[in-house]
C-alpha cells in the first residue's frame, strides 16, 4: 500500500542517482586509462608503452621519488609535531586546546595560493642558507596538512580516556614518552593511520606550492610532461591515482587490523 509504494519510488530514485552520477565520476577515470593506452596511430593496437616509458625518464623518476619521500617525511613530521602537542595540551594545558585547534584550522581560511606568496621570501632564504633540495617543501606541506590531520587525530583522541590512562601509567612509574608512545598511540591507531593517509593523499596531490616555488614534484612533472606528451602524462596521472587508492586501502586495513588486534578501545 502507501508505504510500500513510497519505498519503491525511493528505490527507483536511488538507482537513477547512482547510475547517472556513477557515470559522471567514473567516465573521466576510464577515459584517462583509455587515453593512456592508445597506440600511435588511430588504428594502432593498445599498448602500455606510455606506462613503461615512465621508468626510463630520469626526470620523472626523480619527481616521483621526491614526492614519495616528501609524503613520508611530512607524515612522520606531522605525527611528531602534532601528536605529542595535542596530547600534552589536553592533559596539562587545557586552556590551549581551543587556540591550537584554531591555529590548525587556519590553513583552510588561508589557502595554499595565498600562503605561497608568503612562502616565497622564506624559501628564498632557505635556499641560500639551508638547502635547495626539494625536500625542503616538507616544511610547507606540514602546514597544509594541519587541518585534515588535526581533525583525524582529534577524533581519535576524544575516543580515548586520556586522563585516566595517563594517570594510571604515570602512577605506575612511566615517563611521559612511554605514556605517549606505548599507552595512548596504540589505542588510537586507526586515527593515526587516517591522519597519515590524509598526509600522503595531500602531498602526492599537491601542485600549487611546488609549482610556484619552482620545485618539480609529481604533479608538476605531470603538468610539464603534459604540455608536450599528453599520452604519457596521463599515464603517469593514472598511475599516481592508482597508487594513492591502493595506498589508502592498505593503510585503512592496516589501521583497522591494528586496532582490532589491540582490542580497539578507540574506534576512531
Partner 1 sequence: MTAVPVTKAAYVRRPLGGRLRVSTAWLGAAPFLVYTGLFLFLPTVLVAVGAFSGPHGPTLANLAQLSQPYVVSAFLNSLVLSAVSASIGAVVGAVLAYTVASGSPDGILRRLVTAFCGVLSQFGGVTLAFAFIATIGTEGFIVIWLQQHGITFYPNGVWLFSLTGLTLIYTYFEIPLMVIVFMPALDGIRPQWREATETLGGGTWHYWRHVAGPLLMPAFLGAWLLLFANAFSAYATAAALLDIGGIIVPLQISRALSSEVGLDQANFAAALALGMVVIVAIITVLYARLQRRSARWLPR
Partner 2 sequence: MGALDTRPIGASWGGSRSAAEVRLENLRRVYGSTIALDGLHITIQPGELVALLGPSGCGKTTALRLVAGLEDAEGGRVVIDGRDVTHLPTSRRDSGMVFQAYSLFPHMTARENVAFGLRMRKVAVAERRRRAGEMLELVGLSTQADRYAHQLSGGQQQRVALARALAIRPSVLLLDEPLSALDARVRSQLRDEIRRVQREVGITTLFVTHDQEEALAIADRVGVMRAGRLEQMGTPTSIYSQPATPFVAEFVGLTNRLAGVVTGGAVDVRGIRLPLIASDTPDGPAVALVRPEAVSLAPALEGFNGPLSGTVIAVSFLGAVSRLTVDLGDITVLVQVPTADATAHPGGSRVRIALRQDPVLITRDSSQGRP
Task: Note whether 2 binds partner 2 by CB under 8 A.
Answer: yes
Residues in 9-28 at the binding interface with partner 1, rule: CB under 8 A: 10, 13-14, 17-18, 21, 25, 27-28
Task: Note whether 109 binds partner 1 by CB under 8 A.
Answer: yes
Task: Note whether 1 binds partner 2 by CB under 8 A.
Answer: yes
- The residue ranges of DSSP E strands in the chain, in sequence order, are none
Task: Note whether 43 binds partner 2 by CB under 8 A.
Answer: no
Q: How far apart are CA 244 and CA 232, in angstroms?
A: 19
- Please, which residue, 84 or 186, has the CB nearer to partner 1? 84
At closest approach, how far in Å is the CB of 186 from partner 1? 21
Task: Note whether 172 binds partner 2 by CB under 8 A.
Answer: no
Task: Note whether 109 binds partner 2 by CB under 8 A.
Answer: no
Q: How far apart are CA 42 and CA 30, in angstroms?
A: 18
Stretch that binds partner 2, among 2-10, 74-82, 157-165, 193-201 (CB under 8 A): 2-10
Q: How far apart are CA 5 and CA 161, in angstroms?
A: 47
Residues in 3-22 at the binding interface with partner 2, rule: CB under 8 A: 3-4
Kindly report the number of other CB atoms within 10 A of residue 75's CB atom: 23
Structure-block grid coordinates of residue 24 = 559522471
What angle in degrees, to the nearest 10, is found between the helix axes of 58-92 and 137-158? 40
> Is residue 131 within a helix (H) or strand (E), and if so which, with residue range?
none
At closest approach, how far in Å is the CB of 198 from partner 1? 8
Among 12, 19, 23, 113, binds partner 1 (CB under 8 A): 113
Residues in 212-241 at the binding interface with partner 1, rule: CB under 8 A: 212, 219-220, 222-223, 226, 230, 233-234, 237, 240-241
At closest approach, how far in Å is the CB of 97 from partner 2? 25
Task: Note whether 159 binds partner 1 by CB under 8 A.
Answer: no
Stretch that binds partner 1, among 49-57, 106-114, 155-163, 254-262 (CB under 8 A): 106-114
- Please, which residue, 1 or 117, has the CB nearer to partner 1? 117
Contact 195, 152 (CB under 8 A): yes
C-alpha closest to that of 65 among 118, 133, 6: 133
Contact 118, 164 (CB under 8 A): no
Q: How far apart are CA 73 and CA 58, in angstroms?
A: 22
Instruction: Supply the DSSP string of 224-243, one letter for each residue.
Output: HHHHH-HHHHHHHHHHHHHH
Task: Note whether 191 binds partner 1 by CB under 8 A.
Answer: no
Contact 225, 236 (CB under 8 A): yes
Stretch that binds partner 2, among 1-9, 46-54, 99-107, 183-191 (CB under 8 A): 1-9
C-alpha closest to that of 86 among 7, 209, 188: 188
At closest approach, how far in Å is the CB of 2 from partner 2? 4
- Please, which residue, 8 or 261, has the CB nearer to partner 2? 8
Q: Applying CB under 8 A, which residues contact partner 2?
A: 1-4
Amino acid at each position: 500500500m502507501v508505504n510500500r509504494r513510497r519505498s519503491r519510488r525511493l528505490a527507483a530514485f536511488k538507482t537513477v542517482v547512482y547510475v547517472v552520477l556513477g557515470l559522471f565520476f567514473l567516465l573521466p577515470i576510464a577515459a584517462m586509462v583509455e587515453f593512456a593506452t592508445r597506440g600511435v596511430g588511430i588504428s594502432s593496437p593498445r599498448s602500455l608503452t606510455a606506462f613503461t616509458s615512465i621508468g626510463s625518464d630520469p626526470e620523472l623518476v626523480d619527481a616521483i621519488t621526491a614526492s614519495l619521500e616528501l609524503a613520508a617525511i611530512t607524515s612522520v613530521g606531522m605525527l611528531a609535531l602534532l601528536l605529542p602537542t595535542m596530547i600534552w595540551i589536553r592533559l596539562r594545558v587545557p586552556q590551549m586546546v581551543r587556540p591550537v585547534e584554531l591555529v590548525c584550522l587556519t590553513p583552510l581560511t588561508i589557502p595554499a595560493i595565498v600562503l605561497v606568496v608568503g612562502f616565497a621570501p622564506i624559501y628564498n632564504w632557505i635556499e641560500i642558507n639551508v638547502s635547495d633540495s626539494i625536500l625542503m617543501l616538507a616544511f610547507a606541506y606540514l602546514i597544509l596538512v594541519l587541518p585534515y590531520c588535526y581533525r583525524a587525530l582529534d577524533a581519535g583522541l576524544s575516543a580515548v580516556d586520556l586522563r585516566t590512562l595517563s594517570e594510571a601509567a604515570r602512577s605506575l612509574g612511566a615517563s611521559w614518552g612511554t605514556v605517549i608512545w606505548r599507552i595512548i598511540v596504540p589505542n588510537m591507531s586507526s586515527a593515526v593511520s587516517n591522519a597519515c593517509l590524509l598526509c600522503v593523499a595531500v602531498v602526492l596531490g599537491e601542485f600549487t606550492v611546488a609549482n610556484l616555488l619552482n620545485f618539480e614534484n609529481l604533479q608538476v612533472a605531470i603538468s610539464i610532461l603534459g604540455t608536450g606528451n599528453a599520452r604519457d602524462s596521463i599515464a603517469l596521472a593514472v598511475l599516481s591515482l592508482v597508487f594513492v587508492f591502493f595506498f589508502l586501502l592498505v593503510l585503512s586495513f592496516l589501521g583497522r587490523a591494528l586496532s582490532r588486534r589491540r582490542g580497539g578501545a578507540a574506534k576512531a
